[in-house]
Structure 1
Amino acid sequence: MSRKHRIWYPGAMYHITARGNKRAAIFKIKQDYEMYLTLLDEVRNKYPFQLHAYCLMTNHLHLQIETIRDHIQYIMKDLHSRYAIYLNKRLKTDGHVFQGRYGAQLIQDDSYFLEVSRYIHRNPLEAKMVKRAEAYPWSSYASYIFNEGNPYIDKSKTYAYFPEPSHLYYQRFVESNLDLKEMDVKEGKAWELVLQV
């Protein structure tokens, strides 16, 4: 039985997840995290895309990716092949680094776009790895809430959902328990009332 094809179209956005084979660690030392981000940038030069958020955990990862003209399968296959080659070489092993095929949940509305961003950035906090989400070094969250540069991500789409100062409203959103399912979320919507916490 053949695998179901990924839905893709130019501009398609995804919540990408991937886990280590047999739940093993895919990032063991600082160099591994840095290499994954370096390879991600190299792959982006070949298959342009926008990265809105990321979080690299010890044995799994989350990416919020918006494609431009290339199918997500080419992006992820190239990225994870390169990383597997790097990690196997560094550890002097061979075999699968990732467990099965990566997950790719299609993001089709504004509410889900924001929920994915919040979920990704809260991951280390929910796993009790840190006391504050911004303290986790392998996530894009700190660059969002401190409004700092980060060469790997584009914050403009996410910030567009919030009034100025966008980084502070985004932080309130991530740290709140808002349920977006019942809300008419649109870019540029006045969030002042929604986010008075």
Structure 2
Amino acid sequence: MSYDALNRGRWSQSHRIYAITTVTHQRWPVFRTLRPARLLIGQLRNVHESGAVHSLAWVVMPDHLHWLFELGDRLSLPGVVKTLKARTSRHINGHLGRTGSLWQRAYFDRAVRTHEDVRALARYIVANPLRAKLVDRIGDYPHWDCVWVGRGGNGTALD
């Protein structure tokens, strides 16, 4: 199935908040090790700093990513996901000395409704490691951030 076919019927709106989940190819737990997880986080930072999105919260799980962000004006939602997947595939495959798919081609997205509690959704996203029983306290999990929690330095989820 082509990338265009996967995005048929999918729309995006600038300055709307989206929650996305994307899974690695065959649920490969590549992010269980530090370097691939940090390479993904670096690319989240690059997309954020480019102005394509304003990241609100994210968590990198061993085989998938949950990301909450406000879409900017530079790219469509499919463009943001395509950019992130392409860049992370190139960097992580290069680091691991491999080729092939890193990500499943599809992803799940949800536009957040204006009446929804975005902070509650952010808390739900960053609590994924607790629900998966990877840690007993979220502070013990190294691969997450949220603008409302203060792990960053100046109000972005990626500082």
Same fold (TM over 0.5): yes
Shift of 1:71: 0.9
Q: Does 1:72 align with 2:77?
A: yes
Change (3 A) 1:148 1:84: closer
Given the alignment of the two structures, is residue 26 of structure 1 paired with residue 37 of structure 2, yes or no?
no
Note if 1:63 corresponds to 2:63.
no
Shift of 1:30: 1.5
Alignment of 1:1-197 (within 5 A): 2-3=5-6, 4-69=8-73, 70-111=75-116, 113-140=118-145, 144-145=148-149, 147-150=150-153, 152-153=156-157
Superposition RMSD in Å: 2.2
Q: CA deviation at 1:63?
A: 0.4
Q: Give percent identity, aligned residues only.
A: 24
- 5+ residue gaps, structure 2, are none
1:110 Cα deviation from its structure 2 partner: 3.5
The CA distance in 1 between the partners of 2:35 and 2:148, in whole Å, is 23
The number of residues matched between the two structures is: 152
Cα pair 2:18 2:68 within 8 Å, conserved: yes
SS at match of 1:140: strand
TM-score, normalised to structure 2's length?
0.83
Alpha-carbon separation, structure 2, partners of 1:144 and 1:134: 14
* SS at structure 2 position matched to 1:27: helix
- The structure richer in strand per residue is 2
CA distance in 1, matches of 2:116, 2:123: 11
Q: Secondary structure at the match of 2:128?
A: helix
Distance change >3 Å, CA 127–CA 12, structure 1 → 2: same
Aligned pair in 2 of structure 1 residues 150, 72: CA closer, same or farther (>3 Å)?
farther
Secondary structure at the counterpart of residue 78 of structure 2: helix
Cα distance, 1:84 vs. partner? 0.5
Give the match's secondary structure for 1:111.
Answer: coil
